[in-house]
Chains A and B, each alone.
Chain A
Amino acid sequence: MDFHSPRTWADALALKAEHPEAVPIAGGTDVMVELNFNRHRPPALIDISAVPELAQWDRADGHLRVGAGVSYTRLVRELGPRLPGLAMAARTVGSPQIRNRGTVGGNLGSASPAGDAHPPLLAGRASVELASVRGTRLVPVEEFFTGPKRSVLAADELISAFVVRPAPGPEQFCKVGTRNAMVIAVASFAISLDPEHGRVGTGIGSAAPTPRRAAGAEELLEAELSAAGMWERPRPLPDGLLHRFAELVTSAASPIDDVRGSAAYRRHALAIMARRALSWAWADLMRNGNAPCN
């Protein structure tokens, strides 16, 4: 097996163009598991962990552009207040060792329906920046995933970054697993509230072939809150609204039975998480007025 260690982004892209069958390795926390289980024997690896550009983040045009190689640990530490939903998800990933190595780029690269970064990226309406020697394109996260462990990433492309607005309001993430730490999601849910524009974002994990939004639930909430003038003057959410929101989140999912949980339980758990996450986010909003978190 060949092992390439590019030191620059240009070299990395050139290598990927030259060896489209080579597998990029960032933190290696998915790649090494696959190798260890003998699931894949790629002819070559491209180690992108030493490419400085990938480990940087910056602000531009009111957006954050976060390099694909920023670890979960750094995300929590450096971007926690600006991306609270993603930081909450990052805190639940694996163990400290995994969070030190693992990256959002790798999470996207694996495109697992259970990837914890995906629901908050969906809820925050982030985009994924894909690059190749041919150029760069920006794909909304929602369009990035095409199936279980499949994405629109082309054979000669690498993920360079994700681009997202700093949280416009309260965000929440919760994940159900059968252990109190170090566990793959049985189901997960993220929500992001944008009081200024009256927008709601959601993301569902581990309950469909791909991570996905609950668009119906978002629309319902946006419509009801606007109609009641609740964005301007937040009042406690009526129980019926919470209930309908949770129902619509559940109906957006299409879960399966597997070793981690049954489809019925996943639906059940999603409804509860949706309801709780919304009520926490809404409680935050009522406490802090509608000022953005940061």
Chain B
Amino acid sequence: MSTLTGPTRESAGAGAHTCDGVGDDARRPDGAQKVAGRFAFSSDLWADGMVWGATVRSPHPRARLVSVDPSEALRLPGVHCVLTHEDVPGKKTFGLEVADQPVLAVGEVRYQGEAVALVAADSPETARRAVAAVRVEYQPLVAVVDPMEAMLPTAEKVHPSGNIVRHFKLRRGDPFGEAPVVVSGEYEVGMQDQAFLGPESGLAVPADDGGVDLQVATQWLHADRRQVAAALGLPEAKVRLALAGVGGAFGAREDVSLQIHLCLLALRTGRPVKMVYSREESFFGHVHRHPARLRYVHGAARDGRLVFVKAEMVFDGGAYMSSTRAVIGNAGTLSVGPYVVPNVSVDAYGLYTNNPPCGAMRGFGAVQACFAYEAQMDRLAEELGMHPVELRSLNAMSQGSLMPTGQVVDSPAPVADLLRRVAQAPLPPPGPTVADVATEGLLPGGMANTTHGEGVVRGTGYAVGFKNVGFSEGYDDYTTVRVVLAAGPDGPVATVHSAGCELGQGLVTVQAQIARSELGVREVVVETADTRVGSAGSSSASRQTYMTAGALREACGQLRAEMLARAAARLGVPEADLSWAHGEVLGPGGDVLGLPELLEPGPLERTVEWRHRPTQEVDPETGQGDAHVQYSFAAHRAVVDVDTELGLVKVVQIDTAQDVGKAINPGAVLGQIHGGTTQGLGLALMEEIQVEAGRVKNPSFTDYLIPTILDVPPMRVQVLELADPHAPYGLRGVGEAPTISSTPAIVAAVRAATGRRLPRVPLRPQDIVGLGEAAGGTDGADGAAGTGGRAGGAHDLTGGVPEPRGPGSGEGGAVP
């Protein structure tokens, strides 16, 4: 169920309504193909005469690379070449922000899975065997794997520059603030994986001009091109990229994975080269969400008003930088949540270690912060005897509020309203009902028959979160769109061309909707995203619909102006007397000129490079500055049933409310909210890359668990459309906000059901029953609450009211 509510519905520039235009549930063109299994993903790419690439990877988290001996591999029939760093003709390193990662390892490997050499062979099987036949000699070194130790000045350095990639400081008001009510806690977020279903894959074809054409599943074609061209030592014009079918991204395709490798192999062999990572390799082939340790102290007045927040946030960035700096910027600037806090002192650190590299993932720094600050808000509510929603609403930011960075929130910020909406949504009937017991899969444990109601306790939890939209901190963030309007056999056709990457979020659909509304045409062709047009920036940071809409609307506006000029010349009247309505120009005397006439002199074309309003770098000592473009807000209420004896959880229902400014495609908006909420559920309950001594222990979907349909509850989604006056159509980026508050809401509900602190996600059954070791030692010892330093007991309730229940609990008898 979903409702679209909101006072503002700005109509598209064209005025009259166009079918499948802005605001409509236009169907995605790839939908039917994907359902029928006919959609070509990047792993389906094919070229005649192609060979297969594969990667030799380090088994060690840190080692000196002594030698690479390819001779045995080269002797295998069907093997074309083995490449090492010596075969990289251009820049030997790459990276999204800073080029600190070797294309192929030089001298030292810094994480398990680091690429050391490449092979090309006639078949995937031969390539795999060749990988095994490449003899690499390593001299293992002591790996830096504990982020807290990595921070110490005495720590072994992962890179010569030291282990601290960024230390973000946020200072506002009195950093030594005191308050009558104080709660503190330590929290930990495990390493989540984006777990897209389509593994890294692509096809590189050498070109006659000495360049290369690369088809690849990615989030940012031009960032890839920059790095590929640099490594190949070619001008960018000779490196042409086109987007292949993307099977999910969630941040994991922002960094280069196999792009450079494919092109190196293609240029060396003179043959088309295809690579597809296996599922296991994929876990080593892309960055993950930063695991984080967070220590928070919140102070409030007796009436519940926040007086101060102090925090230390430590993010493990792993062996290479990727986007750690920007992640830390987000974590720091968003560290106190969507609340008004007069006194703030936050230190956020991003580190180098020899753990797997971490970078972009949906929520990008905001996820870790929200898990901690929302747990703190619940503890504060408990300490004050307030309802968690009441406390949050009291402190909620609103339009006009100041961020702790000093930035004014200058568009709607309906934080209290979102909370009110989820709090007032109808609750599920108290359970388990006889039907739940009889219908398999509805109780904790799902299909596995672990309870008939024994030990089951229901809990409810709330959370609200926010996320900046677009690239922040002074980044020159722009998107290019080219639009051609031409006469076609069946009427005018608009062609939209951009390098914006469709990842499944629906960018292609949205582009067509906007062109229809703005130009009044029915037929829109959206060309494949490629580098024949300027950069679109990344499909990430919840920014691509916002940015593409800005550029596309601007380009269409210019085309309309051009048509008015044509019409004015034709009719011999001043342009001012003409108006545009729904694909036609209206003249003063009732003259009407349609697109066919207007396009008679020839097609029209406009290319627009569009920027969102500028942001600022923040002050390095205080974090003050207008760092962000826009915020996206969402709230969640989770109702869970917990088998408190076995530590198993069934999420019964999730209600969420989100302000999207304007739903360009309401169906796609719901898809993002359902999916984002589910990814947050995964982090709450199961998703973790387990790393021990720098080694990944569960690189497969057998042991890296993601939610199944039986883990995902019914969701009620309320979508608000409160226009942001600074944004095209008033829209807000949608993709990330739902992931952020979903996790803490679910954990708060489990805390409510169990009375345990549960300071770490994902929750493990052993934590829920009190047998686990978690952040800050054993459960309950993680913090102190209250001015008198009263220790938080393990059985204090947090974030809601437990409701013991279960008809079976009497019958079967519960274990004491």
Contact = CB atoms under 8 A, between A and B. Distances in A.
B690 A262 contact: no
Contacts of A220: none
Contacts of B451: 276
Q: Chain B contact residues (Cβ within 8 angstroms of A): what range?
A: 35 or more
Contacts of B815: 246, 271-272, 275
Given A180-B650, A276-B454, A175 B448 contact: yes
A182 B448 contact: no
Interface centre among A172, A173, A183, A186 (most CB of B within 10 A): A183
B771 A180 contact: no
Contacts of B444: 180
A217 to B, nearest CB: 15
B765 A261 contact: yes
Nearest to A242: B813
A178 B447 contact: no
Given A181-B711, A242-B813, A261 B703 contact: no
A20 B193 CA distance: 41
A242 B811 CA distance: 13
Interface string A156-176: 000000000000000011111
B672 to A, nearest CB: 23
Interface string B444-483: 1111111110110000000000000000000000000000
Nearest to B450: A174
Contacts of B690: 259
B449 A178 contact: no
A242 B814 CA distance: 11
Given A179-B711, A180-B441, A279 B812 contact: yes
Contacts of B705: 178-179, 183
A172 B708 CA distance: 25
Contacts of B811: 279, 283
Task: Name which of A88, A181, A273 has the most chain B CB atoms within 10 A of its CB.
Answer: A181
B685 interface: yes
B708 A264 contact: no
A181 B441 contact: yes
B231 to A, nearest CB: 28
Contacts of B497: none
Given A179-B708, A179-B711, A279-B812, A92 B697 contact: no
B72 interface: no
B425 interface: no
A177 B703 CA distance: 11
Interface in B684-733: 685-686, 690, 697-698, 700, 702-703, 705, 707-711
Contacts of B698: 259
Contact of B766 (A36, A37, A173, A264): A264
B645 A181 contact: no
B450 A178 contact: no
Contacts of A265: 647, 764-766, 769, 771-772
Interface in A222-263: 239, 242, 246, 259-262
Nearest to B454: A276
A173 B449 CA distance: 7
Contacts of B448: 92, 174-177, 180, 183
A246 B811 CA distance: 17
Residue among B441, B448, B647, B705 with the highest chain A CB neighbour number at 10 A: B448
B747 to A, nearest CB: 15
Interface in A61-81: none
Given A175-B450, A259-B697, A276-B450, 6 more contacts: A36-B279, A176-B445, A179-B708, A261-B766, A262-B766, A262-B772
Interface string B760-786: 000011100101100000000000000
14 contacts: A91-B440, A172-B449, A173-B449, A176-B448, A179-B711, A181-B441, A181-B447, A246-B815, A259-B690, A264-B766, A265-B765, A265-B771, A271-B815, A280-B812
Contacts of B449: 88, 92, 172-175
B766 A176 contact: no
Contacts of A95: 708
A178 B441 contact: no
Nearest to B648: A176
Contacts of A97: none
